[in-house]
Amino acid sequence: MDRYAVFGHPVRHSKSPFIHTLFARQTQQQLEYGLADPEPDEFAAALRSFFAEGGKGCNITVPFKEQAFTLVDSLSPRAKLAGAINTIKLTDDGLLLGDNTDGAGLVADLKAQGIILAESRILLLGAGGAARGALAPLLAEGPRTLVIANRTHDKAAQLAQRFTSLGPIVAAQYDALTGPFDLVINSTSASLQGTLPAISPTLIHDDIAVYDMMYGVNDTAFNAWARERGARKIMDGLGMLVQQAAEAFTIWRGIRPGTAQVLRELKRNLGA
């Protein structure tokens, strides 16, 4: 049976095995999907061993997305742009292809939830692998402006420069953000620690949509903060997780699974 896995550290909390098991059942694909949790300095060796022992593909999550980018034989165009990968496929030629499905998953989920991205004013918080994966797909939707802000401003400025040919993107300091924005996307890992990006509460108003790429049974810290300030629409990253997984599954198996039922099952599994 074909073997797949998700690599992360820690990774025990991952819902990817649940999601891909449902995708396989839905599409009548025979595969098994597991967890791999190597120490950071053992990731490269663990990845090589996985494929040497018959692995067909894997997902990559925190903190390995940027390291994995350097370990594959070839990259998809969107992975090259992102500088980070979350999906690897073993090709028929025995080569490792790296791809990034995060941005496609984010945009698909935003659209599924009725968010109009064209001509919108978007604020993206964070400049790590998740942000890099999101930028090109977001810019492809034709926003009026996309502002990227990060705790370390230089990282945001470098990303804005890197993606400037794709659309209207600028970098800003957290304390210099003024808005107004139609959509705020939190790609930082702050919610994992129960903390918040250092942005002004005045950016949140009653006509804004807020999206945290993290998720949980209850509101993330960021979404709870935005809800208290009257944000119009509050979204977490659960739909993005399912949508990016569907994209990865399609890359591996050549068949696209449906996502609506899997998302419902996942919410039920989380107790949401």
Whole-number Cα distances in Å, 181 to 80, 107, 132, 147, 200: 29, 17, 20, 9, 13
Task: Please check if 233 is assigned to a binding site.
Answer: no
For 158-227, the DSSP string reads HHHHHHGGGS-EEEE-GGG-----SEEEE-SSGGGGT---S--GGG--TT-EEEES---SS--HHHHHHH
* Residue 28 among known ligand-binding residues: no
213 among annotated binding-site residues: yes
Is 86 annotated for ligand binding?
yes
As a whole number of angstroms, the distance between CA 21 and CA 26 comes to: 9
Q: Is 191 flagged in the annotation as binding? A: no
For 38, the token pair is 């190597």
Is 127 annotated among the ligand-binding residues?
Answer: yes
Whether residue 20 is annotated as binding a ligand: the answer is: no
What distance in Å separates the CA atoms of residue 133 and residue 247, rounded to the nearest whole number? 13
CB contact at 8 A, 136 and 106: no
* Residue pair 27/263 in contact by the 8 Å Cβ criterion: no
The reply, when asked if residue 16 is annotated as ligand binding, is yes
Alpha-carbon gap, residue 230 to 71, rounded angstroms: 44
Annotated active-site positions, please? 65
Q: Is 80 annotated as a binding residue?
A: no
Task: Name the strands in the sheet holding 145-149, side by side, starting at the edge strand that comes first in the sequence.
Answer: 169-172, 145-149, 121-125, 183-186, 209-212, 233-235
Secondary structure percentages of the chain, helix, strand, coil, to 5: 45, 20, 35
Q: Is 118 marked within a binding site?
A: no
What is the rounded CA–CA span in Å between residue 89 and residue 104? Answer: 17
Instruction: Establish whether 237 is an annotated binding residue.
Output: yes
Q: Is 105 annotated as a binding residue?
A: no
Known binding residue 27? Answer is no
- Tell me: is residue 128 an annotated ligand-binding position: yes
Point out the annotated binding site.
Answer: 14-16, 61, 86, 102, 126-130, 150-155, 213, 215, 237, 244
Give the residue ranges of the annotated binding site for NADP(+): 126-130, 150-155, 213, 237
The binding site for shikimate consists of 14-16, 61, 86, 102, 215, 244
